[in-house]
Chain A
Amino acid sequence: MATAQHPSTPSVRTGVQPLRAGQGTSFLWRKLHSLLGIIPIGAFLIEHLLSNYEALKGPAAYGAQVRFLNSLPLVRVLEWVFIFLPILYHGLYGLYIWMRGKSNLVYYPWAGNWMYTAQRYTGLIAILYIGQHVLRQRFMGISLPENPGAAFAKVQHELANPWMLAVYIIAMIAICWHFAYGIWLFAAKWGITPGAAARKRFGYVCAALGFALAVMGLVSIWAFVGPKYKNTPDIVPLAAVAVTASPVLSAPPAAVISAAV
């Protein structure tokens, strides 16, 4: 074989590398991320929003719910294993996923691409929000596991700041959106809805769920900032609650997000 002499030529860079067939562990980590978003994080989100909804029944009922949750066996273990650690992982790995994606919404402003991008921004909002929320409501100020009766007022004081209120409202919407679209993504990517028609139908289901959760959440926020339970004492006695709870509950919408555990 012979080659004619040739001046040095430019070289083409290597681009995206081919599939590392069967190698590495990213499949496991990515699927774990995806699963944790549904269980336990999603499940916890629903529980949390339902608990918040108790605020509609007033400070005492809300405090009772907090007390109930804190009475679960091994609650501190549950709290770490099923809530804090999964959220931490889901959040950090989610950021890692985001960092490695290259958004191109400018050129391809298609619905799915919007959702893809929105899922990342809502995720970011969720992480930032949850970080401060857990710190301020769970680990700072009066300890709610020890004083469940203080739950309502603690949240109420927080939301008295209009900036914080805005943060809570935005985060509530973002998190519900993120969760609803997350369920849809989960179904699509785990092959539960492999057909376009199924994905479309399930899209409506997820949208309805997300909307319902967001409304519930916003309504709960109203319970804290609305006129009905203005100036709730820092600690409400909970013993009485069990008996009086339901008559107290009448009309006003209201309620929260927050430290339910």
Chain B
Amino acid sequence: MANKTIALEIKRQSSPDAPAVWEKFELPWRPGMNVISAMMEIAANPVTADGQPTTPITYDSNCLEEICGSCAMRINGKARMACSALIDNLEQPIRIEPLSKFPLVRDLQVDRSVLFENLKRVKAWVPIDGTYDLGSGPRIFPQVQEVNYPLSNCISCTCCMEVCPQFNEDTGFVGAATIAQVKLFNNNPTGKVFKEERLRALAGDGGVQECGYAQNCVEACPKQIPLTNAISDVSRDVLIQKAKDFLRG
């Protein structure tokens, strides 16, 4: 086993305008390796499998504990977090590509700022009066906390958006992550104050109606967030809001 190696194929693109090329790498195997540690290895020794010198791979990463949401990429075709992709569990050669639905920056790095922009558009925050001491927060029963907590676990990795057949430039669909955040903030005793606004926002073009319920989001979510439940709940609330708005004139 001493000389065991692993094989990687990585899709490289030096800039948004440059052509994409596949580079092959062969690295020494070590127990417990994951895709990130393999790419760290390449950075320390940037040579392709056929001995050509190359550049270290550009990719986003930070915590390496699947909590910061940085290192989402497509590994053997599937969008997932690279830090938790253990080499021993992957079929080789491991093919690594950037997420396909977001503008490419370089190599495996893409621009996912659309999610953060979406969060602004649905006012995904609790509008507190101020940070001065105003005493305890509202009482929240554990049953409510247990609904909210999983939603609050969203790491903004955008896997749910990448795998969604409806998330693309034609629909401009907002994606499951933002919808789940709307449910979260509408559930908060103070966050509720924007409930109607958030629901109306989500009835806009690219809103919750674009969901095709393929349910890929919930399959791909590394945090097992009940995204389809959130979509159902929020869709109903949006509909009721629109009906009310219509009837109130």
Determine whether A and B are in direct contact in the complex, meaning some CB atoms lie less than 8 angstroms apart: yes
| In the bound complex, CA of A24 to CA of B200 (Å) | 11
* Interface membership of chain A positions 103-146, coded 1 if the CB is closer than 8 angstroms to chain B and 0 otherwise: 11011101111011100000000000000000000000000000
B214-A112 in contact (CB<8A): yes
Is A19 engaged at the interface, CB distance under 8 Å to the other chain?
yes
CB-based contact B209/A108 at 8 Å? no
Q: Is B7 in contact with chain A by the CB < 8 A criterion?
A: no
Contacts of B232 in A (CB 8 A): 188-189, 191, 193-195, 199
- 21 A-B pairs with CB atoms under 8 Å apart are A10-B16, A12-B103, A13-B104, A15-B101, A16-B101, A16-B114, A16-B167, A18-B114, A18-B206, A21-B201, A24-B204, A24-B205, A26-B209, A27-B204, A101-B165, A101-B166, A101-B171, A111-B215, A113-B165, A117-B214, A190-B235
Once A10-B17, A15-B111, A108-B219 are accepted as A-B contacts, the answer to whether A20 and B213 lie under 8 Å apart by CB is no
Q: At the interface, is chain A mostly helix, strand, loop or mixed?
A: loop
B228 at the interface (CB under 8 A from A): yes
A30 and B210 within 8 A (CB): yes
Cross-chain contact A22 with B212 (CB below 8 angstroms)? no
Q: Does B8 contact A (CB under 8 A)?
A: no
Per-residue CB contact flags for chain B residues 160-178 toward chain A (1 = under 8 Å, else 0) read 0101011111111110001
A-contacting residues, B105-161, CB 8 Å: 105, 111, 114, 117-118, 121-122, 161
Q: CA A232 – CA B132 in complex, angstroms?
A: 88
In the complex, what residues of B have CB within 8 A of residue A24's CB? Answer: 204-205
Nearest-CB residue, chain A, relative to B18: A10
Chain B residues near A195 (CB-CB < 8 A): 229, 232
- Shortest Cβ distance from A96 into B: residue: B170
Closest to A116 in B: B214
A-contacting residues of B (Cβ < 8 Å)? Answer: 15-18, 74, 77-78, 101-105, 111, 114, 117-118, 121-122, 161, 163, 165-174, 178, 200-207, 209-216, 219-220, 226, 228-229, 231-239, 242
Give, as a whole number of angstroms, the nearest-CB distance from A22 to chain B. 5
Assuming A15-B169, A18-B121, A190-B235, is B15 touching A108 (CB within 8 A)? no
Nearest CB on A from B129, distance (A):
24
Known contacts A189-B213, A194-B229; A19 and B166 CB within 8 A of each other: no
Contacts of A196 in B (CB 8 A): 226, 228-229
A11 to B103, CA, bound (A): 10
User: Quick check: A17 and B213 within 8 Å, CB to CB?
Assistant: no
Flag whether A256 is at the interface (Cβ < 8 A). Answer: no
- What residues of chain B lie closer than 8 Å to A30, measured between beta carbons? 209-210
A108 with B220: CB separation less than 8 A: yes
Which residues of A (178-235) have their CB < 8 Å from a CB of B?
A: 185, 188-196, 199
- Known contacts A15-B102, A19-B118, A116-B213; decide if A27 and B242 are in contact (CB<8 Å): yes
A97 interfacial contact with B, CB 8 Å = yes
Task: Report chain A residues within 8 Å CB of B211.
Answer: 189
Decide if A100 is an interface residue (CB 8 Å cutoff): yes
B contact residues around A111 at 8 Å (CB): 215
Could you tell me the distance in whole angstroms from the C-beta of A171 to the nearest C-beta in chain B? Answer: 23
Given contacts A14-B103, A108-B78, contact A26 B210 (CB under 8 A): yes
> Which residues of chain A have C-beta atoms less than 8 A from B102's C-beta?
15-16
Interface residue? A6 (CB, 8 A): no
The 6 closest A-B pairs by CB, nearest first: A191-B236, A112-B215, A24-B205, A21-B201, A116-B214, A194-B232
Confirm or deny: A250 has a beta carbon within 8 angstroms of a beta carbon on chain B: no
5 A-B pairs besides A101-B171, A117-B214, A185-B213 with CB distance below 8 A are: A20-B205, A116-B213, A116-B214, A189-B211, A194-B232
**Minimal Cβ-Cβ distance residue in A for B217:** A112
Q: Are A16 and B169 touching (Cβ within 8 A)? A: yes
Q: Please, how many angstroms separate the alpha-carbon atoms of A24 and B234 in the complex?
A: 19
Residues of A within 8 A of B18 (CB): 10
Contact between B171 and A27 (Cβ–Cβ < 8 Å)? no
Q: Pick the residue among B206, B216, B237 that contacts A112 (CB under 8 A).
A: B216
- In the complex, the chain B residue whose C-beta lies closest to that of A104 is B165
A30 vs B205: C-alpha distance in the bound complex, in angstroms?
10
